[in-house]
C-alpha cells in the first residue's frame, strides 16, 4: 500500500464569495502495480470523521485499495471539522474579570478553563442559566469555515478529482462514490450535479435535503447564537460569536433563499436526469434523523429516471451485529462490509461517455438562480451561478439541462 497526500486550490465559494483555504487530499494506491489505468473510489467522511483519520486512511481506504486493486481518494472538504465543532477557549482568561465584575463571583483556580468550570457550578446554583449577549466576544468556534451543507463539499470533490488527474492516471469510466450520513448526502449531490460521471454511488443513511438547523441555528434565527457549556450537572448557555454567515433576512446578500435550498435537495423530481449510474442505498427504517420516507421518495425519483437502484431498507430482522448493529441513524454499520456488499467482485464500469468526455454543461434553474456545472476532457470542472429573471425562469421551466 502506498499513501500520498497533496493540497489543492478549490472552487471559489460561488454563493457567498468567502475566501477559501487550500484543501487536503489523501490517496491510497494498491501495493501491486498495474499497467492499465486503475478504477478510482472516492470515500467521503461524514460528521465527526476526517480523511486522514486512522479509520479512513488505514482501515477503510487501504482495505478497498488492496481488495479491489484501485486508487482510493478522500479529502478534508469544506467545513469537515464544523460538526461537531469544538470551541476555541483562548479568550476565556479575558472573560473571567468581566464575570467577576458582572456577578460578584471570585475564582479559585488560576487556570482559565478550570475557573470557568467553577463559575458554571456557582452560577447554576444561583439560578443563572444564560449569560448576557455582551459576553459573546469571548467565545468562538475553533475552525473558521461555516457549514455549507453539501454544496461546497461536493464541488471540492470535483476539484480533487481534477487535481488527481494531473498526478496519476485512473479509469474515467470506473469512478465510485461511497459515503455515510453527511458523506452519503454529498455523494448523492455529486451524482445529481454530474449525471454521467460515476459508475456507482454507495449511500449509507445519507440526508436528502438541507437541515436548516445546521445552516441557521435556532438561536441565530432569533438574533443570537448560544451554546451550552456544562460542568458536571451544572450547565449555562454562553453566547458566542456567530460563524454561520447564512441568514433569513431577505435583504441580506447572505439570505438563504429557496434557490439555495433547492440546489441542495435530492427530492426535486426535475433535478434528476436519466443516467446509467448505478446506486446502492442502505437506510434504516428506524432512522430518526433522516426518516425512511424521505429516502423512499428519493429512490422513487431515481427509478423514475431509469436509474439502476439497489435499495436495502434495513429492518430489525436485519440487525446481526456485523454489517448492521442498530436501527439508529447510520446503523453503526461496517463500511467495509457495505462496500463489499455493493461491489461483490470488481469495480463496475460506466457503459456510456462520461460528462468529462462529453465536455458536458449541466444547468439547474432554481428559483431566482441558475447553477451551472461544466466538465472538461481532462477532468476539468467549473461551477458558476447566474441570476435569472422571473420571466426567464418561466420560459426555461424548472428542469436541469445537460448539454
Res 301 pLDDT > 80: yes
Question: Is 46 found in the same domain as 188?
Answer: yes
Q: How far apart are CA 218 and CA 385, in angstroms?
A: 28
Instruction: Say which DSSP state 130 is in.
Output: B
Question: Is 282 found in the same domain as 206?
Answer: yes
Res 245 pLDDT > 90: no
Domain containing 318: what range?
A: 2-83+146-212+259-354
- In total, how many domains does the chain have? 2
Q: How far apart are CA 161 and CA 175, in angstroms?
A: 10
Residue where the block lists cell 451554546: 227
Question: Is 181 found in the same domain as 112?
Answer: no
Beta strand 170-180 with 38-44 is parallel
Question: Is 227 found in the same domain as 207?
Answer: no
Question: Is 126 found in the same domain as 270?
Answer: no
pLDDT of residue 257: 94
397 falls within a domain: no
CATH number of the domain at 174, please: 3.40.50.1820
179 falls within a domain: yes
Least confident of 74-88, 262-276, 386-400: 386-400
128 falls within a domain: yes
Task: Give the pLDDT confidence of 14-58 residue by residue, as tens digits.
Answer: 999 999 999 999 999 998 877 789 999 999 999 889 999 999 999
Q: How far apart are CA 321 and CA 203, in angstroms?
A: 20
Question: Is 116 found in the same domain as 32?
Answer: no
Q: How far apart are CA 119 and CA 106, in angstroms?
A: 8
* SS3 at position 76: coil
DSSP secondary structure of 230-273? EETTEEEEEE-------BS-TTSTTB--HHHHHHT-S--GGG--
Distances, alpha carbon 112 to alpha carbons 96, 116, 341, in Å? 8, 6, 50
Question: Is 192 found in the same domain as 158?
Answer: yes
E strands in 86-147: 87-88, 140-141
48 falls within a domain: yes
Q: How far apart are CA 253 and CA 23, in angstroms?
A: 26
Question: Is 323 found in the same domain as 178?
Answer: yes
363 falls within a domain: no
What b/e string do you get for 238-271 counting C-beta neighbours within 10 Å, with b at 16 or more?
bbbebbbbbbeeeeeebebbebbbbbbbbebeeb
β-bridge mates for residue 73, sequence order:
27, 42
Question: Is 204 found in the same domain as 221?
Answer: no
Task: Give the pLDDT confidence of 54-98 residue by residue, as tens digits.
Answer: 999 999 999 999 999 999 999 999 988 765 555 677 778 899 999
159 falls within a domain: yes
282 falls within a domain: yes
Question: Is 160 found in the same domain as 79?
Answer: yes
Question: Is 341 found in the same domain as 325?
Answer: yes
Question: Is 177 found in the same domain as 58?
Answer: yes
Amino acid at each position: 500500500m502506498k499513501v500520498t497526500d497533496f493540497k489543492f486550490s478549490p472552487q471559489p465559494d460561488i454563493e457567498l464569495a468567502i475566501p477559501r483555504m487550500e484543501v487536503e487530499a489523501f490517496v491510497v494506491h494498491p501495493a501491486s502495480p498495474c499497467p492499465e489505468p486503475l478504477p478510482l473510489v472516492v470515500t467521503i467522511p461524514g460528521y465527526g470523521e476526517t480523511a486522514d483519520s486512522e479509520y479512513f486512511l488505514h482501515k477503510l481506504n487501504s482495505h478497498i485499495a488492496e481488495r479491489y486493486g484501485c486508487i482510493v481518494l478522500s479529502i478534508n472538504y469544506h467545513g469537515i471539522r464544523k460538526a461537531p465543532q469544538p470551541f476555541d477557549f483562548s479568550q476565556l482568561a479575558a472573560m473571567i474579570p468581566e464575570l467577576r465584575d458582572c456577578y460578584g463571583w471570585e475564582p479559585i483556580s488560576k487556570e482559565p478553563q478550570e475557573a470557568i468550570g467553577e463559575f458554571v457550578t456557582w452560577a447554576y446554583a444561583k439560578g443563572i442559566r444564560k449569560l448576557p449577549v455582551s459576553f459573546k466576544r469571548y467565545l468562538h468556534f475553533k475552525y473558521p469555515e461555516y457549514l455549507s451543507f453539501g454544496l461546497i463539499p461536493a464541488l471540492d470533490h470535483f476539484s480533487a478529482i481534477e487535481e488527481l488527474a494531473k498526478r496519476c492516471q485512473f479509469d474515467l469510466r470506473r469512478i465510485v462514490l461511497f459515503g455515510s450520513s453527511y458523506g452519503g448526502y454529498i455523494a448523492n449531490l455529486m451524482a445529481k450535479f454530474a449525471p454521467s460521471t460515476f459508475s456507482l454511488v454507495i449511500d449509507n443513511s445519507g440526508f436528502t435535503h438541507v437541515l436548516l438547523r445546521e445552516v441557521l441555528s435556532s438561536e441565530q434565527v432569533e438574533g443570537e447564537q448560544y451554546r451550552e457549556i456544562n460542568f458536571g450537572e451544572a450547565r449555562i448557555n454562553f453566547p458566542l460569536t456567530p460563524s454561520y454567515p447564512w441568514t433569513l433576512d431577505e435583504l441580506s446578500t447572505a439570505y438563504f433563499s429557496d434557490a439555495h435550498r433547492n440546489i441542495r435537495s435530492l427530492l426535486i423530481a426535475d433535478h434528476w436526469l436519466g443516467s446509467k449510474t448505478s446506486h446502492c442505498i442502505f437506510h434504516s427504517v428506524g432512522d430518526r434523523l433522516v426518516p425512511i420516507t424521505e429516502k423512499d421518495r428519493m429512490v422513487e425519483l431515481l427509478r423514475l429516471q431509469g436509474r439502476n437502484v439497489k435499495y436495502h431498507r434495513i429492518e430489525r430482522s436485519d440487525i446481526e451485529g456485523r454489517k448492521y448493529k442498530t436501527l439508529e441513524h447510520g446503523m453503526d454499520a461496517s463500511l467495509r462490509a457495505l462496500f463489499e456488499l455493493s461491489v461483490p467482485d470488481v469495480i463496475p464500469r460506466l457503459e456510456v461517455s462520461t460528462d468529462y468526455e462529453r465536455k458536458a454543461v449541466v444547468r439547474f434553474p432554481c428559483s431566482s438562480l441558475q447553477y451551472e456545472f461544466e466538465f472538461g476532457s481532462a477532468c476539468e470542472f467549473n461551477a458558476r451561478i447566474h441570476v435569472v429573471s422571473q420571466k426567464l425562469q418561466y420560459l426555461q421551466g424548472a428542469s436541469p439541462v445537460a448539454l
